[in-house]
Every structure is written in C-alpha cells, then in structure tokens.
Structure 1
C-alpha cells in the first residue's frame, strides 16, 4: 500500500529545529513509499477515508517534540493518528491508542481504572512503543490502510459529514481537557484559535457552559470563526487580553500583574502561549494545556505566588472517545475548520495549508 513514511534523521531534525517552517519541505524526513499491507491477528483492517495533520505531527517533523517522550514512540512509522476509516461500507472513527489489551498484556493500574490514555505499558508487550501514527509495527492514517482492534472502532452517526467525523480524535482530547476545568469557572479565556482552540470554544457551548467564553485570535478569519462558535469577545493578542483585565506593576526593570481570568485554555502549543497563559490566569485560577509545548524556559512563580493550577490533556478514555463521536451530530459547522483535502503525493502542499489539512490516501 502507499503511505507517507517518517524516518528519523538527526541532521534533518536539527536543521528543522533551527529553521522551523523555513526548513525546505523536500528535506523533511518524510517519503511517499510502498509498504506491505498490514495484517495482525485480532486486528481489523480499516480503509482510510481521511486522516488529519495534527500539531503534534508538525512538532515531530520540525524537531519541536520534547526528547523525554521519544522512548514512547517508535520509528520509522507511517504518521497520522486522526483517522476516519471505512469497514464493510460503514464509516468509523479510529481510536489510535495501543494500551495493555492491544499489546497482549494484563491491564496495568491505569488501564484497570479505565484510563487507557495513561497506560503504563505503552513501550511494552507484543507491539513497538507508541500509538497508531507513532508506531513502527502498525501504520497510521497517512497511508491507505490501518489496523485496529474492533473495540477501537466507533461508528459515525448518520448524517455527519466526513470532514466533521475526522475530527473525532482531537475532539476527544478537548473534551477530556475541558472536564478538568470543572467545576466550571465563571469565564474561560482560550489562547490560540487553531483547530484545538476553536474546538474548545465550540465544545464549551455544546456542553452547556453558560459563562463567558473569551478568545485570543491572531488572524481575522479565526476571530470570525470564534464568534460563530460561541465566543463572547475576541482579543487580537494576549497583550490586549492582559491589559483588559489585569493591573500592571513595575519595579526597576521588572513588570508584574495582578488579576486576569479564572480559566485559561492554552491551545497554541507554543512555549510563548504557555508563558502567556500563566500570566493571564488570575490568582487561584486554572490553566489547561491542550497544546503540546516542549522544552521551554518558563517562570514558575505563578504556581506558588498566584497559586495557579495546571492541568493537561493528551489523549482520552475509551468512554470519552465514544462521547466525542456521539456529540458530532450536534456540532454543525466543525467541518469549516478544514483548510484542504490532499492526496498523499501532495504532502508538501498539505503541510503548508492554512487551516486544518487532511489526507485522502485512497485517491491518486
């Protein structure tokens, strides 16, 4: 089958880390190639309909992933963990986790508690480390086929467009994260109006949140979409949001702030966004990391001086994934997040797309 295969290269890693998005696409360690059709006992073969390009995929390609998590992935691998597939003519969202049960192991303490996303055996058992999209034994969604155990396949409700259904996986991440903000604060500020940030705004309203939802959007089209998804107000920058709600104090060359927002969702995935989120949270407030910043220099004083709480969301439970899929019919408009759908040979264009890019592997 055809697939986009990621093969690590230290020179290209350091080059991409240094140059970022200026690094030539043709030098990224990604290649369209032919690999054997996968087979594995107990796993179902799923024909990929659509697969998303995630911020974590881009972080890997551009050398931004934190080194401490590298032992829990395995390469070379076919990337892609946001997967909409087809089995016997029916659309399914694929839960990409490979926890104890998938690995042929007795459940660890976290899996026994139903927290498969926190499985302690992600680098153990009969499979290589990592979930689908970061696993050398099982291909991810940037190929024509994937394998998954039947309980990892969630039927898509009737009438849900494919471009909305493929967002099941990031929606589950956001759903889990927003639950960690409960009991709901009186207001929530969302930093970063990319896919995760806009999903957070939309999902807050879908979950019945009645407080103020505020957003920070870099671009006018993001601001427009944030309002359409339920934001009460949109700031053009974190600085504008800070000045709107905080008091500034100066001593010599140093600046500090008091006040801010009760709940702050950091969805940009950047170190700068993380630092801004800590500054924007008010005393006793809470910060939710939906993005995935790596190694960053951060002032830790907000955690003790302002007693700001910090929580994060990376994956989900099986029930949370199913809940996200069940919410899809009531989340009309999510498909507007899609910036383009690309065949595998057009991967360079996909990685440069504005908005959420998708691959449709089974076309020329």
Structure 2
C-alpha cells in the first residue's frame, strides 16, 4: 500500500530543529513509499478515509519532540494517529492506543484501572514500542490501511460529516484534560487558538460550562472562530490578557505580577505558551497543558510562590474516547477548522497548510 514513511535521521533532525519551518521540506525524513500491510491475529484491516496532521507529528518532523520520549516510539513508521476509517462499509473512529491487551500482555496496574493511556507496557511485548502512528510494526493513518483490534473501533453516529468525525481523537484528549478542571472554575482562559485551543473552547460550551470563557488568539480569523465557538472575549496576546487582570511590579530590570486567571488552558504546545500560562494563572490557580512544549527553560517559581497547580492531558481512556465520539453530532462547526484535504503525494503542502490539514489516502 502507499504510505508516508518517517525514517529518523540525526543530521536532518538537528537541521530541522535549528531551522524550524525554514528547513527545506524536501529534506524532511518523510517519503511516499510502498509499505507492506502486515497481518496480525486479532486485528482487523481498516481502510483509512481521513487522517489528521497533529501538532505532535509536526514536532517530530521538525526536531521538537523531547528526547526522553524516544524509547516509547519505534521507527521507521507510518505516521498518523488521528484516524477516521471504514470497516465493513461503516465509518469508524480508530483509537490508536496499543496497551497491554493489544500487546498480548496481562494488564499492568494502570490498565487494570482503565487508564490505558498511562499503560506501563507501551514498550513491552511482541509489538514494537508506541501507539499507531509511532509504531514500526503497525502502520498509522498516513497510509491506505491500518490494523486495529475490534474494541478500538468506534462507529461514527449517523449524519456526522467525515471532516468532523476525524476530530474524534483530539477531542478525546481535550475532553480528558477539561475534566481535570472540575469542579468547573468560574473563569477559564484558553491560550492559543490553533486546533486544540478551539476544540477546548467548543467542547467547554458543549459540556455545559456556563462560566466566563476567554481566549488568546494570535490571528483575527482565530479570534472570530473562538467567539463563534463560545468565547466571551478574546485577547490579541498573552501580554494583553495579563495586563487586563494582573497588577505589575518592577524592581531594577525585573518584573513580576499578582493576580490573573483562575484556570489557564495552554493549547499552543510551545515553550513560550507554557511560560505565559504560568504567568497568567492567579495565586492558587490551575494550569492545564493540552499542548506538548517539550524541552524548555521555564521559571518554576509560580509553583511555590503562587501555589499554581499543573495538570497535563496526553491520551484518554476507552470511555473518554467513546464519549468524544458520542459528542460529535452536537459539535457542529468543527469541520470549519479543516484547512485542506490532501492526497499523500501532496504532503509538503499539507505540512504548511493553514488550519487543520487532513490526508485522504486512496487505496
């Protein structure tokens, strides 16, 4: 089958890390290749209808992923973990996790608790380390077919457009994170209006959050969409948001603040966003990381000086994934986040698309 294969290269890794998006796309360690589709007992063949380009995929390609995660992935691999598939004529969202049960192992303590996203055996058993999209033994969604066990397939509710249904996986990530903010605070600030930030705004309202919901958006079109999704107000920058709520103090060349927001959701996935979120949180406030900033230098003083609490959200339980799929019918407008649908051959254009880029393999 045709697929986009990622093969690590240290020179290209350092080049991409140094130059970022200026690094020539043709030199990224990604190529269109003919890849054999493996057979594995207990796994079903699922035809890929759509697969999303996630921020974590871009971080990997541009050398921004933390090295400490590398033992829990395996390459070369067909990327793509946001997968809408077709099995026996029905549309299904594919849960890409490969936990103990998928690996033919007895359940670890976390899997016994239902927390498969925190499985302790993601690098154990007969399967290579990593989930679909980061696994050398099983291809991800940037190819024509994937393999998944039956319980990893979630039927899409009738009437849901494909370009909305493909958001099931990132919705599950956001859903898990937002649930950690309960009991709901009176006010939430979402920092970063990319796909994850806009999903957070939309999902908060869909879950019945009635408090004050604010956002920080870099671009005017993001601000408009945030308001359409339920934001009460939008700031043009983190600095603007900080000055609107916090008191500023100066000593010599240094600046500090008191006050801020009860809960801050960091959705940009950048180190700068992480630092800004810590500054924006009020004393005793909460910061929820939905992005993945990786290796960054961060002032840790807010954790003790302001007693800020930090939460993270990486994957999900089966129940959270099922709940995310069940919410799709009422999340009208998510498809507006799609910036383009591309064949596999057009991957250089997809990686720089504005808005959410999707691959539509044809097999």
Sort the TM-score into its range (normalised by shorter chain): over 0.9
* Structure 1: tracts of 5 or more residues without a match: none
Q: Tell me what 1:283 maps to.
A: 283
SS of residue in 1 equivalent to 2:16: helix
Q: Tell me what 1:300 maps to.
A: 300
1:360 matched to 2:360? The reply is yes
Q: Is the 8 A contact 1:38 1:145 kept in 2?
A: no
Q: Tell me what 1:90 maps to.
A: 90
1:244 matched to 2:250? The reply is no
C-alpha separation in 1, matches of 2:11 and 2:361? 29
1:29 matched to 2:29? The reply is yes
SS of residue in 2 equivalent to 1:245: coil
C-alpha separation in 2, matches of 1:287 and 1:183? 14
C-alpha separation in 1, matches of 2:358 and 2:324? 19
Pairwise mapping of residues 1-364 of structure 1 onto structure 2 (< 5 A)?
Answer: 1-362=1-362
What's the TM-score once normalised by structure 1's chain length? 0.99
Runs of 4+ deviating beyond 6 Å: none
C-alpha separation in 1, matches of 2:233 and 2:126? 50
| 1:258-287 deviation digits (Å, cap 9, x = unpaired) | 000000000000000000000000000000
| 1:94-141 deviation digits (Å, cap 9, x = unpaired) | 000000000000000000000000000000001000000000000000
C-alpha separation in 2, matches of 1:246 and 1:331? 34
User: How far is 1:37 from its partner?
Assistant: 2.0
C-alpha separation in 1, matches of 2:213 and 2:219? 18
| 1:12-54 deviation digits (Å, cap 9, x = unpaired) | 0000000000000000000000011221110000000000000
SS of residue in 2 equivalent to 1:278: helix
| 1:197-236 deviation digits (Å, cap 9, x = unpaired) | 0000000000000101100000000000000000000000
* Structure 2: tracts of 5 or more residues without a match: none
C-alpha separation in 2, matches of 1:39 and 1:340? 32
SS of residue in 1 equivalent to 2:244: helix
C-alpha separation in 2, matches of 1:114 and 1:37? 30
Q: Is the 8 A contact 1:38 1:45 kept in 2?
A: no
C-alpha separation in 2, matches of 1:177 and 1:242? 23
C-alpha separation in 1, matches of 2:195 and 2:95? 19
What's the TM-score once normalised by structure 2's chain length? 1.00
| 1:322-348 deviation digits (Å, cap 9, x = unpaired) | 000000000000000000000000000
User: How far is 1:183 from its partner?
Assistant: 1.0
User: How far is 1:252 from its partner?
Assistant: 1.0
